[in-house]
Amino acid sequence: MQIILKNLKRYYGDLHAVDDVSLNIPSNTIYGIIGKSGAGKSSLVRLISMLEKPDAGEIYYDDKRIDTLDIKDVIQERRKIGMIFQNFNLFSSRNAEQNIAYPMEICGMDKEHIKKRCAELLEVVGLAGRGDAPISTLSGGQKQRVAIARALACEPEILFCDEATSALDPQTTRAILALIKEIQKKMSLTVVMITHQMEVVRDSCSRVAVLESGQVVEEGKVTDIFANPQSEVTKDFLSNVKISKKDIIRWSKEGGQYRLGFRGGKTDDVVISKVTRDTGAMFNIRAAGIQDVDGEKIGVMIVDIDSEHAEAAIEALIKGGVSVEEIK
């Protein structure tokens, strides 16, 4: 299901939590919304998921406008979306299976069907046979798996993930993201992934919107944004991406004036050598590596260029399809 936001606004007194946001979240993708804490991403997701009403603007699920529905219709509409949270928010008074059963119970499905569906869902999230486990006996990753199963119980078309991996360690985060990706493909879901971790966007999303002070400062394909970030916030996020050791090797801690970005086919080309031959510029490579972003390879190289030829070299690099950014 496609989600369209038009000029959404939500103010809390003087605080413009969501300030004129317009987005088009395409159907059947994983869409990232990234921002620092206080950037308004939680407020935004509360608006899109109908937990709050916007002060102004419009929200559409496909062609259906949902921000003007009355409470009865909102309740019906909420039953068609799934949501998972940073703190899992499972019912401690219920075991794993009863948690998954809850959304089906409130829709009034019959018991036989609920039981069958619970078993199916436990299987999907890799917890088959653990249905009778009390919530407190499960690890963080397992809790999030139960939460995912619960969110999928009524076969939603949209899944909201509100910082779903922020409370998990890196390994568990990867496993949960892999599960979400797998489910997204299997059920053709529209997944909206709210996060403050660029790693999560890199490992799971195909498009991303960068939020700052309630406004969208950058939006596009994740591969484009990783290769060629425009806004300061995005660059800041990217510079903090934790790259696992095997992705980037750094020879020298000091120096490195320029960051070169190579995309797709360019990673196979002999760009640097050509530039050296054509301009006479000397490169000193400080660090280099490749990141896997949404299935595409993005090469990164941190270099010094001798000052005499720097200008000509940069021009030649850009002409050769390499993005160049000066590191301050």
Q: Which residues bind other proteins (CB under 8 A)?
A: 49, 51, 75-79, 81, 83, 85, 87, 89-94, 102-103, 105-107, 134-136, 150, 160
Complex with other proteins: residue 3 or 281, whichever CB lies closer: 3
Cβ partners under 8 Å of residue 114, min gap 6: 101, 104, 105
**Shortest Cβ distance from residue 295 to other proteins (Å)?**
31
**Shortest Cβ distance from residue 52 to other proteins (Å)?**
11
Complex with other proteins: residue 163 or 203, whichever CB lies closer: 163
**Shortest Cβ distance from residue 69 to other proteins (Å)?**
12
Residue 82: which of 175, 167, 6, 158 has the closest Cα? 158
Query: CA quadruple 106, 110, 111, 115: dihedral positive or negative?
Result: negative
Complex with other proteins: residue 64 or 319, whichever CB lies closer: 64
**Shortest Cβ distance from residue 103 to other proteins (Å)?**
5
**Shortest Cβ distance from residue 151 to other proteins (Å)?**
8
Strand order in the sheet with 190-195: 81-85, 158-162, 190-195, 30-35, 207-212, 215-221
Complex with other proteins: residue 30 or 81, whichever CB lies closer: 81
Query: CA quadruple 19, 24, 26, 32: dihedral positive or negative?
Result: negative
The two structure tokens encoding residue 84: 């998972």
Place of tokens 């946001």: 21
Q: What is the Cα–Cα distance from 134 to 155, expressed in whole angstroms?
A: 24
- N- to C-terminal Cα distance for the chain? 43
Complex with other proteins: residue 37 or 92, whichever CB lies closer: 92
